[in-house]
């Protein structure tokens, strides 16, 4: 999901891919000698959250209905627990009901909900254990969405798998459920990729943003709300793009000047302002089919699109959120929707933020993890029994 939800993995191959959701590089100068410098990170899914410690230990917490947390089905875990004691991880992405991660030896794993083949295991059986993707190429970047997943190989080739109704994966496969990685039908090479509900966006080697998939809400940013686009198509924006994050039905991006743009569904003002454009015919809803500037005064170094809200980190380390605030996911101490960026109730130097469906988590420069919003399934790691928090609470320190 919402990914734009995973951060900080740097892996070299035929093409250097730099995944820089927040601060620093994840592999140190001695990477060829097996010494890893892993930056702590967090990824918020639908009702679960995962994070990686500086030592590469993968933790998850929250709902575990499909095994997305660690395999204890139909159980909520408000306390972060390690997924594996023997595997060191570099990156993590939490989707709707599944999660995917890349280990230090460049093995890509997925686990959890698999009704459309989004785990890349070759079938549609839910998996409650870490399972390597059935693929003969190394995946160096991976992002989990609602019911599909996409990844990049070292040369920037994009592969997707999972739900493929009307070929929204953008691959040559005509199967409705693609259970193995299938190459996206384009000659473009990507450096980043982000998976939303039923669409995908990526950044090409020349810093262009491209999207494909379902477009009922204008989430592809191509200037129309055409039903679908089955090949990567450039977003209507001339700026060079450095980061992109696909939420449920909207997406956001940052340009080289740290300006934030959002497009797609805007029923909750998650684009950062009220729009006059509508999408749909029978029951029109607010949207924008082209990228809109979020703020002319705020500059961001990271952005994360959730379900009905968006959060970003300003260049001076402050977290701002906007959009749906029904569960307190904006972190400003209220439950009032915000049409423009509002700072959270904690003023610290943050380095990473992840917006989920109805909760948000962020890491500060000292390695302390804060979460806020819905805690119905323990996804903000609040073991007090509270159903949610409208202000950030410190969960733990790496």
What is the pLDDT confidence band of residue 282, given thresholds at 50, 70 and 90?
confident
More confident residue, 124 or 18: 124
What is the pLDDT confidence band of residue 64, given thresholds at 50, 70 and 90?
confident
Domains of the chain (ranges plus CATH)? Answer: 1-195 (2.130.10.30)
Triad 3, 44, 354: Cα angle to 5°: 70
Average pLDDT over residues 90-119: 95
Q: pLDDT for 6-32, tens place per residue?
A: 333 322 222 222 322 333 333 232 233
Answer yes or no: is pLDDT of 70 > 60.
no
Do 323 and 309 touch, CB atoms closer than 8 A? yes
Buried b (16+ CB within 10 A) or exposed e, 25-49: bbbeeebeeeebebbbbbbbbbbbb
* Cα dist from 81 to 47, 296, 312, whole Å: 15, 41, 27
Do 215 and 227 touch, CB atoms closer than 8 A? yes
Computed over every residue of the chain, the mean pLDDT equals 88
What is the pLDDT confidence band of residue 337, given thresholds at 50, 70 and 90?
very high
Q: pLDDT for 229-279, tens place per residue?
A: 999 999 998 899 999 999 999 999 999 999 999 999 999 999 998 899 999
Average pLDDT over residues 326-339: 97
Q: What is 39-76 written as a DSSP string?
A: PPEEEE-SSEEEEE-TT--EEEEEE-TTSSSSS-TT-E
Average pLDDT over residues 149-175: 95
Taking alpha carbons only, the member of 188, 140, 185, 195 closest to residue 162 is 195
Percent of the chain scored above 70 by pLDDT? 88
Backbone torsions φ then ψ of 31, nearest 5 degrees: -60, -35
pLDDT for position 235: 97
pLDDT for position 35: 52
Q: pLDDT for 321-332, tens place per residue?
A: 999 999 999 999
pLDDT for position 283: 86
Average pLDDT over residues 57-61: 94
More confident residue, 9 or 194: 194
Instruction: Tell me the C-alpha distance between 2 and 307, whole Å.
Output: 7
pLDDT for position 281: 82
Q: What is the pTM of this model?
A: 0.90
Q: What is 354-374 written as a DSSP string?
A: EE-SSEEEEEETTSEEEEEEE
Answer yes or no: is pLDDT of 315 > 90.
yes
pLDDT for position 398: 77
How far apart, in Å, do the first and last CA atoms of the chain sit? 24
More confident residue, 3 or 346: 346
pLDDT for position 10: 28
Do 381 and 79 touch, CB atoms closer than 8 A? yes
pLDDT for position 65: 55
Lowest-pLDDT range, 111-125, 132-146, 185-199, 271-285? 271-285
Instruction: Tell me the C-alpha distance between 277 and 182, whole Å.
Output: 35
What is the pLDDT confidence band of residue 296, given thresholds at 50, 70 and 90?
very high
Instruction: Tell me the C-alpha distance between 203 and 255, whole Å.
Output: 11
User: How crowded is residue 274: how many other Cβ atoms within 10 Å of its Cβ?
Assistant: 10
Instruction: Tell me the C-alpha distance between 332 and 342, whole Å.
Output: 7
Region of residue 59 (left: phi > 0; alpha: psi -120 to 50; beta: else): beta
Do 246 and 305 touch, CB atoms closer than 8 A? yes
Do 389 and 327 touch, CB atoms closer than 8 A? no
What is the pLDDT confidence band of residue 33, given thresholds at 50, 70 and 90?
very low
Answer yes or no: is pLDDT of 73 > 70.
no
């Amino acid at each position: 999901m919402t990914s734009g939800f995973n951060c900080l993995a740097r892996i070299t191959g035929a093409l250097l891919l730099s995944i820089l959701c927040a601060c620093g590089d994840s592999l140190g100068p001695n990477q060829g000698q097996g010494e890893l410098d892993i930056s702590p990170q967090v990824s918020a899914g639908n009702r679960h959250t995962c994070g990686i410690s500086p030592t590469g230990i993968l933790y998850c917490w929250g709902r575990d209905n499909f095994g997305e947390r660690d395999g204890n089905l139909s159980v909520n875990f408000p306390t972060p627990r390690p997924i594996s004691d023997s595997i060191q991880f570099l990156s993590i992405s939490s989707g709707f009901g599944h999660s995917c991660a890349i280990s230090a030896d460049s093995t890509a794993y997925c686990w959890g909900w698999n009704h459309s083949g989004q785990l890349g295991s070759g079938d549609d059986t839910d998996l409650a254990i870490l399972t390597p993707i059935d693929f003969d190429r190394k995946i160096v970047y991976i992002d989990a969405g609602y019911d599909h997943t996409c990844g990049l190989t070292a040369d920037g080739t994009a592969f997707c798998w999972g739900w493929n109704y009307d070929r929204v994966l953008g691959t040559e496969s005509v199967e409705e459920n693609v259970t193995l990685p299938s190459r996206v039908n384009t000659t473009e090479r990507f450096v980043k990729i982000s998976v939303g509900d039923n669409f995908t966006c990526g950044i090409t080697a020349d810093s262009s943003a491209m999207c494909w998939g379902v477009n009922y809400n204008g989430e592809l940013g191509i200037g129309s709300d055409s039903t679908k686009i089955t090949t990567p198509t450039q977003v209507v924006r001339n700026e060079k793009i450095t980061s992109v994050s696909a939420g449920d039905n909207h997406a956001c991006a940052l340009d080289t000047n740290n300006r934030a743009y959002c497009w797609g569904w805007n029923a909750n003002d998650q684009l950062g302002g009220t729009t006059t454009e509508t999408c749909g015919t029978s029951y029109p809803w607010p949207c924008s089919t082209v990228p809109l500037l979020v703020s002319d005064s705020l500059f961001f170094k990271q952005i994360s699109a959730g379900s009905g809200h968006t959060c970003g980190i300003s260049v001076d380390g402050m977290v701002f959120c906007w959009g749906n605030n029904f569960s307190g996911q904006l972190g400003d101490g209220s439950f009032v929707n915000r049409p423009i960026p509002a700072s959270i109730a904690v003023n610290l130097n943050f380095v990473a933020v992840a917006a989920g469906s109805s909760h948000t988590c962020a890491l500060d420069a000292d390695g302390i993890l804060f979460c806020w919003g819905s805690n119905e399934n323990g996804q903000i790691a609040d073991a007090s029994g509270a159903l949610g928090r409208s202000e950030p609470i410190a969960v733990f320190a790496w």
